[in-house]
Chain A
């Protein structure tokens, strides 16, 4: 039982990382980034390409790939998102959706639909004794890395000046502008950072999940449910909801396998009935 719960947390680690990126992007730019899953996929492929063609191991990929994708995100924001933001939100919605399809198809064209092999880093091949049970070291690492990154982001957001500005701009953009904070200056790096987080999750996924062009689109629907449960625009909410949804789907798989996927959406519906803005959301976001 405890082991199953732990399992859920490991699954939740991916939801949390992806939802965190989505939440900061939505909060700061008001953009529902439908290409987020595609960037997660590119993260995993980035790790594969780094190893296969450049000889970069997992640890280097964990640094290089998110940086590269973050840079790509910055270019993307400058070149397209920025121009579309003043228009109806539908434009960015369609743009990111189209972008996701294009990225998927380009990867498909190059590598086919079958998964690419990616070995587990040799340092994390064993198991860890967690007292009550032993657990694969890699999974423990994934959970640790996710908690660390989410925690790190939390510390930056709450303890630093930059974090204060970003948080203020994320949660109360109008008021921040009125107080003379230059919200626009922070939009581009935040977008890049969100994309880098998706890339980071992708690299983490490569050794334990199928590296194929569809891996992101399969996951992203659940991640959107996570963000909604956590509360649109709430950074803390999306992380908490990420782990919660991981738990719910693991326990669902255990007791009622045929319902487990629906369960996440039942949870979402229940949360929305109780709190229309999500667990930690603000009403204005609606």
Chain B
């Protein structure tokens, strides 16, 4: 009983002290547990391990270093730690890891979380625990729709951006008839829908769309079917990723479909995929990217630092995670605390300009980052002048056009 009494007393005193210190103008103790913990939760060994994975942790560390360098002694967050965890792309593992990160590791922010189902799981935990979650890796627009909540942000890209960039732009470019092939699981189905809408919106037609088994190593049936459809599609839109995409592209080249007048557009293409296939296999393929390491001097300078640490160039996902972590720390700085409600208030409506996000705003109504996106084309090997410089940016899609113009009414923050 005495111990109970003591601890109650201590807790009460603690609460009082915290209350005083947290007030306006109070100094010290503004940071919970005395430190800010940034946790990267993503896929460390599965199909997304090369697009984001462990190297993303390095990108987040770079954000911490840049924050420290900028504010020095004036930094609100004096002690910052970076944690990493592997969710294996499984929602149930993402769920328990997120709880562990928030509760035991005292994470103030969880960032990345590719695979939409895993992202939904983490968003729910963030909502219940009232802790900040910035998703970078997942594509689903539901994160700023039905599944949105006060503590969750969606940063970098989504399926609308991909479809609106590639689907609309390629159609407007004159390739009106599409044959869509997509892997038969949530991501592929979602992409098939958003691309279909974008293509029709731009005046094009989806001649046919076929689901393919997932995973799949033999796409020859679909590729041979393409030129014989009526009307003949001018472009195959593939919504595959990783190994499936590599299989499909290798076989696309085998059947020489480009020579038969059927072009290829890729829904989601990562720098690491181009590296796997070699640029010639994908030469001329169009896709939409949220960022490119060799976009301009600012992104290149950052990519140089990144390469010095990891030995490779960053994918756009890694760049986006750097930016998300940096902007979180900036929000903490402005709020003067890491209290989630106050940090969220600082993030809502924030105008952002860093090496990743251009002309960017976090829309307060649905917590979606609006920023410039890029319609890019893969260079043929003959034009690749240095390792990893595979993309040519054809067109900047301005922030106002790149993402949904209106927040989804289903989103109630």
Count B-side interface residues using an 8 Å CB cutoff. 36
CB distance from A126 to the nearest CB of B (A): 9
When distances are taken between beta carbons in the complex, the residues of chain A under 8 Å from B13 are none
Contact across chains for B224 and A208 when beta carbons are under 8 A apart: no
Inter-chain contact B256/A127, CB cutoff 8 Å:
yes
Contacting residues, chain A, for B184 (C-beta < 8 A): 258
Question: What chain A residues lie within 8 Å of B246 (beta carbons)?
Answer: 115, 209-210, 212
Count, A-B residue pairs, CB within 8 A? 96
One of B43-51, B328-336, B353-361 contacting the partner? B43-51
Within 8 A of B (CB), among A117-143: 117, 119-120, 127, 136, 138-139
B224 touches A3 (CB 8 A): yes
Contact B278 A119 (CB under 8 A): yes
Most buried by B among A138, A218, A253, A261: A253
B246 to chain A, nearest CB (A): 4
B76 to chain A, nearest CB (A): 37
Residue of A nearest to B48 (CB): A113
The residue that A115 contacts in the complex, of B211, B256, B276, with Cβ under 8 A, is: B276
- B250 close to A (CB within 8 Å): yes
Q: Which of A113, A119, A139, A205 has the most CB of B within 10 A?
A: A113
Interface status of A11 (Cβ within 8 A of chain B): yes
**Which of A4, A207, A249, A257 sits near B210, CB closer than 8 Å?**
A257
Q: Does A116 contact B (CB under 8 A)?
A: yes
* Chain A residues, Cβ within 8 Å of B210: 257
The reply to whether B221 and A250 form a contact with Cβ atoms under 8 Å apart is yes
Q: Which of B221, B224, B254, B273 contacts A114 (CB 8 A)?
A: B273
Binds A, one of B212-220, B284-292, B370-378, B405-413: B212-220
Q: A136-B256, A258-B211, A260-B213 are in contact. Are A114 and B220 (CB under 8 A)?
A: no
Are the CB atoms of A114 and B276 closer together than 8 Å?
A: yes
CB-based contact B217/A209 at 8 Å = yes
A59 CB-CB contact with B under 8 Å: no
B245 CB to nearest chain A CB (Å):
8
- The residues of B that contact A249 with a CB separation of less than 8 Å are 218
Which of A3, A209, A249, A250 neighbours the largest number of chain B CB atoms within 10 Å of its CB? A209
Instruction: Beyond the given A114-B272, A218-B215, please list 19 additional residue pairs across the A-B interface where CB-CB is below 8 A.
Output: A7-B221, A7-B224, A10-B220, A11-B220, A113-B47, A114-B50, A114-B275, A115-B243, A117-B277, A120-B254, A127-B256, A136-B254, A210-B250, A210-B276, A212-B246, A215-B243, A218-B216, A253-B212, A258-B211
**9 intermolecular pairs with C-beta atoms under 8 Å apart:** A11-B220, A108-B45, A112-B49, A114-B272, A115-B243, A116-B276, A117-B276, A117-B278, A250-B221
**Chain A residues at the B interface, C-beta cutoff of 8 Å:** 3-4, 7-8, 10-11, 105, 108, 112-117, 119-120, 127, 136, 138-139, 205, 207-210, 212, 214-215, 218-219, 249-250, 253-254, 257-258, 260-261
